[in-house]
Structure 1
């Protein structure tokens, strides 16, 4: 019988899966200590678990064939044994629709936040000031999305429905669904002057760490808005502070930071026309059901020998 281990914060959605997959044994990872009953697991369905226990699971569950993580990326699922098992060929996949759905909605909300000048009006309200302001059209504007994976595609689909022109950037410039065109990362800086909205929705790799710095901010339009739902390390924070305080760009919505939690003395807290959220763009009440559906679909594929969805395609780059 196929044996699935699952972490505690997935427990509420497991009962329907037990009924749907009667030939599978599901075992809750209960507490922070390794138990012998985990050793013969074939599959690990992971949300939150302490790093030490995860590394032990990777090291001692020798029959493990497949790891499915609930995150949008794999970079947080690390450790020596994880890296070794991936190198040895352990199958690893992520949820394809759960968090990308929520994050794409966050991006669209962030665009409207600035387009409709809600930060301006909230500030005026706090002063009891009747202050008007000119909004900007979203329809007809250009959205530049760095990352054409599931988050980027879900964002592009929603942006296109609003009448936006959506340009994508990925490593090779390969075509991606939902984008009017895609360009390679190596030449992407030339696209910045075209964009009303710049969205970072890609993982950190050696080639893109800190890529959005002084030169890139200088290339952006002074009415452009930056939205980061990728990773904080994609941005040179000192350059962002300078760009925002000098008015080189018009605004920002930031959900991820190089250091989390963001220190209280960070200058990002007080940037003008900027909204910070504490790495919660993925959070939504529909996630549990979507996580269960994603895992159930892949479990059915695994049991029948079909290709899985959301598989880690380039382990050397961490995605």
Structure 2
């Protein structure tokens, strides 16, 4: 991993350039280079061993994969792997390239978003904001979060961050995962096979699970029908977890109380999408992960793994279930 006493060359995407001073100070024997999206591959990139990837043009990334023959490890600044792919990518993986995710960087802002979404619905802010636009003085009965039940699909790092925050507000938090294995912060956890029976109990339903071949389009009309007519659905997982036709019918038909959606099967969401105008629905443009502390959390996640890489140790953040893609 070193040449002539020097550490590995690390490429980072331009939006992470703010980390360069810290990285160079912490690892003075390593090279760190920000890769520009708007120009051809430079000669200086070709000896890179590591890429820390955030926003990057796919063609540029494919070129790096094809031309950086010493590349051994890619860390992506995301919680999930499903958006990564391509012929060059899979070829390099077959050749032994290691890739990892950033397991902690976005958990805090996403969890805060979820709690904000639940409170937004419980305190009827969308209705009140609409009344303000009409210059209308209305009084709406809010719903207590204390004493409510939250059902969280996904008991990983994001789900756990959601759980303790909801519990602090006095909610009972039930987690759903593949096996029903207990997880910190949850009142109880049930296996995925039993989740449908729990929907009638939930005042809020949170999708914080990775997209896999098993759960694609699992949340369908039967799920909406099983929910309370006052409940809110919050999706911070992936858009393809939900059957769009079922969502549209549920919101237009008043089947559930509200929905807050941050992820969509097609992003950016087309201007003519039916989702824009759904009643009692708040849409945000995949921004739940954005937070003022992200850069430092990304730094901490990368350094934790880079220290392992330099020491020849196993990296963290690899796929837990490779056969399912997460």
- TM-score bin, normalised by smaller chain: over 0.9
Match for 2:10 among 4, 19, 28? 4
User: Aligned runs of 1:273-292 on 2, under 5 Å?
Assistant: 273-292=280-299
Task: Determine whether 1:165 maps to 2:172.
Answer: yes
Greater Cα offset, 58-67 or 233-242 = 58-67
> Cα–Cα, structure 1 residues 85 and 148, in superposed 2: closer, same or farther, change >3 Å?
farther
* Shift, 1:99, TM fit: 1.3
The separation in 1 between residues aligned to 2:241 and 2:202, in whole angstroms, is 18
Aligned match of 1:225: 232
Aligned match of 1:261: 268
Task: Determine whether 1:184 maps to 2:191.
Answer: yes
CA RMSD of aligned residues (A): 1.6
Contact map agreement 1:103 1:281 (CA 8 A) in 2: yes
Contact map agreement 1:72 1:99 (CA 8 A) in 2: yes
Contact map agreement 2:78 2:103 (CA 8 A) in 1: no
Deviations 1:233-271 (A, max 9, x none): 111111111111111111000111112222222221121
Contact map agreement 2:45 2:68 (CA 8 A) in 1: yes
Contact map agreement 1:95 1:310 (CA 8 A) in 2: yes
**TM-score normalised over the length of structure 2:** 0.93
> Cα–Cα, structure 1 residues 89 and 184, in superposed 2: closer, same or farther, change >3 Å?
farther
Aligned match of 2:3: none
Match for 1:25 among 31, 34, 37? 31
The separation in 1 between residues aligned to 2:47 and 2:195, in whole angstroms, is 47
Task: Determine whether 1:115 maps to 2:145.
Answer: no
Greater Cα offset, 102-111 or 170-179 = 170-179
Contact map agreement 1:14 1:292 (CA 8 A) in 2: no
Aligned match of 2:80: 73
Match for 1:142 among 134, 143, 149? 149
Gaps of 5+ in 2: 1-6
> Cα–Cα, structure 1 residues 237 and 175, in superposed 2: closer, same or farther, change >3 Å?
same
Task: Determine whether 1:13 maps to 2:19.
Answer: yes
Contact map agreement 2:214 2:324 (CA 8 A) in 1: no
* Shift, 1:181, TM fit: 1.9
The separation in 1 between residues aligned to 2:96 and 2:172, in whole angstroms, is 40
The separation in 2 between residues aligned to 1:222 and 1:236, in whole angstroms, is 18
Q: Count the aligned residue pairs.
A: 319
Task: Determine whether 1:301 maps to 2:308.
Answer: yes
**TM-score normalised over the length of structure 1:** 0.95
Query: Which SS does the other structure have where 2:116 is aligned?
Result: helix
* Shift, 1:73, TM fit: 1.2
> Cα–Cα, structure 1 residues 262 and 161, in superposed 2: closer, same or farther, change >3 Å?
same
Query: Which SS does the other structure have where 1:315 is aligned?
Result: coil
Aligned match of 1:124: 131
Gaps of 5+ in 1: none
Relative contact order, higher structure (CA 8 A, sep 6+):
1
> Cα–Cα, structure 1 residues 313 and 64, in superposed 2: closer, same or farther, change >3 Å?
farther
Contact map agreement 1:72 1:96 (CA 8 A) in 2: yes
